[in-house]
Structure 1
Amino acid sequence: MARHVVLGKGAVGSTLVNVLAGRGESVLVVSRSGRPAAGSDVEHAAVDVADGAALARAARGADVIYNCVNPPYHRWVSDWPALISGALDAAAATGAVLVTAGNLYGYGTHGAVMTEDLPLRATESKGAARAAVWHEAERRHRLGELRATEVRAGDYLGPLADSQAHAGPRFLDPLLAGKVVRTVVAVDQPHSWTYLPDFAHAMVAAGATAEAWGSAWHVPTAEPLTFRELAGRFAAAAGAPEPRMRPVPPAALRALGLVSPLIREIAAVSDHFSAPFVMSTEASQKVLGTTATPWSVAVTDTLAARAASRATV
């Protein structure tokens, strides 16, 4: 049985833990608090990921380390260098494969379909920060210090999507209640949306596939939808009224950003929705051997999980 160490317990990390635990794998979850979720029987440890030596001690014997940490938007530039350094040091010390959960921000391109061989040329601060994360992992992999890969997703959705997600509760709650959905981004351009379980399965596959190491891969993702089309699919599946979506005007968004660092950083990448933001996953499907969940299943399962969670409250 392989030993898996998951760094972070947000939406991506928690989904990954569920997948691994469901397979009967040995799993350790690392977070600052070390507190397990209610009813969890998975091992947890309190470790600062930026402390590579402490992380290496906690991860001793690991076969794969999954880097699912995600600082708040406004702290990416300040926090990511130490976090990736700690994760890489731990991978080098333990001999574990490091699989980092990435995104598409580093490409810095809009309108063209994104493929894994596109250079990371983002000039916006968060995209540049994420590009630097991969460049450092790739550099140390090339030097032979460790084995590393990155799995990149579009904006995620699914059963454990949280308030940080564009298509999480702040989208579904008003939509299913028949209320106006106020978005901070445009809603009528094609966009790649990644289903969280697909993200988790792709990360597991990347950690176990030697051919994937040393390169970055896109999560196999269903066909792109505009935000409005996505809302229509959820509304139809739930029997909710026709969606009413009203983006916040750019001027109002900028004003909110003056008092909210999070909103300010969201506004800085709002152009991801003002032009086509689509990725290709053909190469990763061949290498990782995973496929995207069809939209009909992703929508139905997300709604079922939401209903189940509300029934237990």
Structure 2
Amino acid sequence: MQTILGSNGQIGQELAKELNRNYTQSLRLVSRHPQKVNETDEVMAADLMNFDQTNAAVAGSAIVYFTVGLPMNSTMWEEQFPTIIDNVIRAVEANHSKLVFFDNTYMYPKDARPQTETTAFEPIGRKATVRAKMAQTILGEMAAGRLDAVICRAPEFYGPGKTQSITNTMLFKNLKAGKKGYVPLSDRTLRSLIWTPDASRAMALIGNTPDAFGQTWHLPVDKPQRYRDLVQLANQETHSHFKDTVLPMWLFRLARPFNQRIQELFELLPRYKYDNLFVTDKFNTRFPDFKTTTFEEGIHQIFSEE
């Protein structure tokens, strides 16, 4: 049995498809209101803030995937994520399961230094601090020999379906609707973006590779591109003349006191001022046959789907 905690999100849904397709049909999907992805899926409703429910969700699982997301709300993250990850770790350890932890890059420095698996955490902001503590808790349990786990880290998403990210929401969604695309701070800096199905495929592969455990892995991405180049790829794909508009920092500062969404976004904005260089050499060397989706292929799919 392999179990996905947080199965209703885009990553969890794609993960369920990949696991069923290539690894096992014995899948348990867990969320507050879970829905089957594959016909053979077992679904279980659970509140991960409750240890007994978390333990029941994990029971009997050889591998547990943590893909839990919360709304972009700093207070909610601070109040819920520490309890959730503590419950999950306790349940995984009690049931002698393996943990595959899906992580983001919020805790990394927000500058142009290349990011590798050994990059030291420099969390700035409330959400970054929460994610850093979660990862450090897992690393501590791994180092103590109590937890058999692996951390799979990904940069910002872009992708099909209901993929949620700054890039999908501000740029591709608008372009697809025939509107002007917006980008924060600069369209000249290099962006590392991960295609959401790639993130799930890579995580399934790592989770089913025994010698990958006990480590942190950067999940695979295509070579970084500038936003202005992504707009040109969209133009080539659709034979259009899309343009993007750069939103400067002063505009975000002006709107911040009056818009909760921008308030929550604010701590992430500095990363868009610099090149974002997410290094995946470790994964590419260990799994040379993995086919990473190119930006051309991803943009083709985004503009082809209904």
Give the TM-score normalised by structure 1: 0.88
Q: For structure 1, which segment, 183-192 or 289-298, has the greater mean C-alpha deviation from structure 2 after superposition?
A: 289-298
CA distance in 1, matches of 2:110, 2:119: 9
CA contact (8 A) 2:176 2:303 kept: no
Q: CA RMSD in A?
A: 2.1
Shift of 1:192: 0.4
Report matched runs for 1:1-313 at 5 Å.
Answer: 3-8=1-6, 9-23=8-22, 24-36=24-36, 42-74=41-73, 75-162=76-163, 164-239=164-239, 241-288=240-287, 290-304=290-304, 306-307=305-306
Shift of 1:228: 2.0
CA distance in 2, matches of 1:211, 1:198: 20
CA contact (8 A) 2:255 2:262 kept: yes
Q: Please tell me the residue identity of whatever aligns with 1:268.
A: E
Shift of 1:76: 2.6
SS of structure 2 residue aligned to 1:110: coil
SS of structure 2 residue aligned to 1:269: helix
Write out per-residue CA displacement over residues 68-104 of structure 1, whole angstroms, 9 at most, x where no aligned residue: 1111222333322112112211211222211111111
CA distance in 1, matches of 2:141, 2:113: 30
Aligned-residue identity in percent = 22
CA distance in 2, matches of 1:12, 1:190: 24
CA distance in 2, matches of 1:217, 1:125: 24
Structure 1: which 5+ runs fail to align? 308-313
CA distance in 1, matches of 2:297, 2:219: 17
CA distance in 1, matches of 2:298, 2:173: 17
Q: For structure 1, which segment, 70-79 or 127-136, has the greater mean C-alpha deviation from structure 2 after superposition?
A: 70-79
SS of structure 2 residue aligned to 1:168: helix
CA contact (8 A) 1:110 1:277 kept: yes
What does residue 311 of structure 1 align with? none
Relative distance call for 1:254 and 1:79 in structure 2 (3 A) is: farther
Q: Please tell me the residue identity of whatever aligns with 2:77.
A: W
CA contact (8 A) 1:5 1:62 kept: yes
Structure 2: which 5+ runs fail to align? none
Q: Please tell me the residue identity of whatever aligns with 2:17.
A: N
Shift of 1:126: 1.9
SS of structure 1 residue aligned to 2:145: coil
CA distance in 2, matches of 1:48, 1:252: 39
CA distance in 2, matches of 1:236, 1:11: 27
Q: For structure 1, which segment, 119-128 or 133-142, has the greater mean C-alpha deviation from structure 2 after superposition?
A: 119-128
CA contact (8 A) 2:183 2:227 kept: no
CA contact (8 A) 2:26 2:40 kept: no
Q: Please tell me the residue identity of whatever aligns with 1:98.
A: L
Relative distance call for 1:87 and 1:195 in structure 2 (3 A) is: same
Shift of 1:184: 4.1
Shift of 1:197: 1.5
Shift of 1:187: 2.3
CA distance in 2, matches of 1:200, 1:263: 28
CA contact (8 A) 1:36 1:44 kept: yes
